[in-house]
Chains A and B, each alone.
Chain A
């Protein structure tokens, strides 16, 4: 039999409550600048976590994840630009739906290739979106991007209408929406579908011969990953109130979450979140002394790839193991 976990005690609530209190107090303690930095971190955590579903759970590397993120950002911005009276959550879901739809559209193509070819195909699709965005001026306004669209208030029917233009209010919205996304993605890895995904990563042929439909399963993963990347893009669009080809579809938008994944640790759920945190902090510290942030990011990535390939999460696990061994001996 499986060893049953001990009954829930107050101890397991300490950590979540602590995190909750910190998140609540954060904007009031640290001020607007750091609140905005935190929102960036939260957006990229979800974006990187959606990429992580492909990398750590399905075992394929996407170099063009900006396709879904940018798709979500543009969908949200364009809907707000053209249609009046859309609700806040509606436009966020529109962003997610756009990402999911793009995932569905590209899945027949992505299902035909593996490994390196997969990475290159995603790169090509991402770049295609970037170019299309620049050229289709009548829809996307080209390089100028879509900006100045109205940001809807958060209306709770009969209770209140909350203005989303202040950093603090938007912070709470972003934290709630993005935490929910992370929670859903985490839950997904614990479902039977999550087991099948991990099986595909480790041994696709066997999964095929266990009676699972590989192309269909992968397509669903692309759709889900696209959905969450789209949500991240939608929150980004609302936060910036401006979506440009460079911000949404640029190749660096695809590479940033990959770097975050490597830095945080591939193969774990927490990896992209930790990576996003570490890179945000480093960027913030570096900007105080230099404008060459890429230099610091680059050095960090080289160090991670050369010396601790399991990333910060792997490093943490290693240290914990070492300490634990000392205690027990």
Chain B
């Protein structure tokens, strides 16, 4: 299998504070890869580098063998990289239907159409309803999004990432701030949505990671401590000491 995402000697510092150092990381096509690590390990920074929020201080990022080190977010999306956001990033004043429809428009490359009413684009609206069904938001399709529960808002966030049909989906702490029940529902939803897809998930909740991921990479103090299957990671002495020991899994 080929690597869909690769980083080569990736380093980043915030005005002198070294957050990531010499990260060589790869995700294979079709793999569900989790990145874990204690707070401050550099997980979110890594996520932001890959998704084009920051430009790394040094090193390279390759997506489908194309250098995306300095690519803008909208380019990344068009290349097939989708993401959800750590702080739920949706359009709160609009309905879930309108939220998803915007993503569907982008997928269909309708970006500058000034000549047709969007309500009358049946194909677009049908695709939108399909996504809403998948994320179980059909009932709430036409309510204002801000009135939905947090869990449902997260589902909507996933739905938008999914609607552009990315080749690689990236989740940044998808279950953060959720109750146990909500978290379980979210994990199930992610499992369903990412079936046969490639995914990277950044997470600190061990249950989530070990139930979702095929492979796990552990970050510690900005460096890769270990990479392996969930079982290997559980048994890795270094990881236990650095991370798992603290949370007593």
Asked if B114 contacts A188 (CB within 8 A), the reply is: yes
**Chain A residues touching B, majority SS:** helix
A8 CB-CB contact with B under 8 Å:
no
A150 CB-CB contact with B under 8 Å:
no
Contacting residues of chain B (177-221) with chain A, CB-CB under 8 angstroms: none
Asked if A191 contacts B91 (CB within 8 A), the reply is: no
Question: Contacts A190-B118, A202-B91, A202-B94 given: A211-B74 contact, CB under 8 Å?
Answer: yes
- The residue on A at minimum CB distance from B118 is A192
A2 CB-CB contact with B under 8 Å:
yes
Asked if B105 contacts A195 (CB within 8 A), the reply is: yes
B14 CB-CB contact with A under 8 Å:
no
- The residue on B at minimum CB distance from A191 is B114
B85 CB-CB contact with A under 8 Å:
yes
Chain B 69-107 per-residue mask, 1 if CB under 8 angstroms from chain A, else 0: 000111011100001010001111110001001110111
Chain B 119-157 per-residue mask, 1 if CB under 8 angstroms from chain A, else 0: 101001100010000000000001000000000000000
Asked if A210 contacts B98 (CB within 8 A), the reply is: no
Asked if A202 contacts B103 (CB within 8 A), the reply is: no
Binds B, one of A107-115, A167-175, A212-220, A293-301: A212-220
Asked if B105 contacts A208 (CB within 8 A), the reply is: no
Assembly CA distance A309 to B68 (angstroms): 45
B111 CB-CB contact with A under 8 Å:
yes
- The residue on B at minimum CB distance from A188 is B114
Asked if A203 contacts B90 (CB within 8 A), the reply is: yes
B45 CB-CB contact with A under 8 Å:
no
B164 CB-CB contact with A under 8 Å:
yes
B49 CB-CB contact with A under 8 Å:
no
| Residues in chain A near residue B111, CB distance under 8 A | 192-193, 196, 211-213, 217
Chain B 46-81 per-residue mask, 1 if CB under 8 angstroms from chain A, else 0: 000001000000000000000000001110111000
Contacting residues of chain A (187-211) with chain B, CB-CB under 8 angstroms: 187-188, 190-196, 198-199, 202-203, 205-211
Asked if A191 contacts B116 (CB within 8 A), the reply is: yes
Partner of B105, one of A196, A209, A213, A220: A196
Asked if B103 contacts A210 (CB within 8 A), the reply is: yes
Chain A 216-238 per-residue mask, 1 if CB under 8 angstroms from chain B, else 0: 11001000000000000000000
Asked if B77 contacts A2 (CB within 8 A), the reply is: no
A1 CB-CB contact with B under 8 Å:
yes
Most chain A CB within 10 A, of B83, B113, B124, is at B113
Interface size of A in residues (CB-CB distance below 8 Å)? 28
Shortest A128–chain B CB gap in Å is 30
Interface size of B in residues (CB-CB distance below 8 Å)? 39
Asked if B118 contacts A191 (CB within 8 A), the reply is: yes
| Residues in chain B near residue A199, CB distance under 8 A | 91, 94, 102
Assembly CA distance A281 to B91 (angstroms): 37
Shortest A30–chain B CB gap in Å is 36
Assembly CA distance A264 to B192 (angstroms): 48
Asked if B121 contacts A192 (CB within 8 A), the reply is: yes
Assembly CA distance A209 to B73 (angstroms): 5
Shortest B123–chain A CB gap in Å is 12
Asked if A214 contacts B160 (CB within 8 A), the reply is: no
Asked if A202 contacts B85 (CB within 8 A), the reply is: no
| Residues in chain A near residue B51, CB distance under 8 A | 209
| Residues in chain B near residue A190, CB distance under 8 A | 117-119
Shortest A183–chain B CB gap in Å is 13
Most chain A CB within 10 A, of B51, B73, B98, B110, is at B73
Asked if A202 contacts B92 (CB within 8 A), the reply is: yes
- The residue on A at minimum CB distance from B129 is A1
| Residues in chain A near residue B102, CB distance under 8 A | 195-196, 199, 207, 210
Assembly CA distance A58 to B220 (angstroms): 42
Partner of A191, one of B85, B98, B113: B113
Shortest B28–chain A CB gap in Å is 24
Shortest B133–chain A CB gap in Å is 11
| Residues in chain B near residue A206, CB distance under 8 A | 85, 89-91, 160
Question: Contacts A190-B117, A196-B111 given: A212-B89 contact, CB under 8 Å?
Answer: no
| Residues in chain A near residue B107, CB distance under 8 A | 211
| Residues in chain B near residue A203, CB distance under 8 A | 89-91
Assembly CA distance A8 to B111 (angstroms): 31
Question: Contacts A203-B91, A209-B51, A209-B74 given: A192-B83 contact, CB under 8 Å?
Answer: no
Asked if A198 contacts B94 (CB within 8 A), the reply is: yes
- The residue on A at minimum CB distance from B107 is A211
Assembly CA distance A2 to B98 (angstroms): 12
| Residues in chain B near residue A211, CB distance under 8 A | 74, 77-78, 106-107, 111, 164
Give 15 A-B pairs besides A190-B118, A192-B124, A206-B90 with Cβ atoms closer than 8 angstroms. A2-B142, A187-B117, A190-B119, A191-B113, A192-B105, A192-B113, A192-B118, A203-B91, A206-B89, A208-B74, A209-B77, A212-B74, A213-B74, A214-B74, A217-B112
| 10 cross-chain CB contacts under 8 A | A191-B113, A192-B121, A195-B98, A196-B105, A199-B102, A202-B94, A205-B73, A206-B90, A212-B106, A217-B112
A residues within 8 Å of B by Cβ?
1-2, 187-188, 190-196, 198-199, 202-203, 205-214, 216-217, 220
Considering the complex of A and B, which 10 residue pairs feature the smallest CB-CB distances, nearest first? Answer: A211-B77, A211-B106, A202-B91, A208-B73, A192-B113, A209-B73, A210-B106, A190-B117, A192-B118, A206-B89
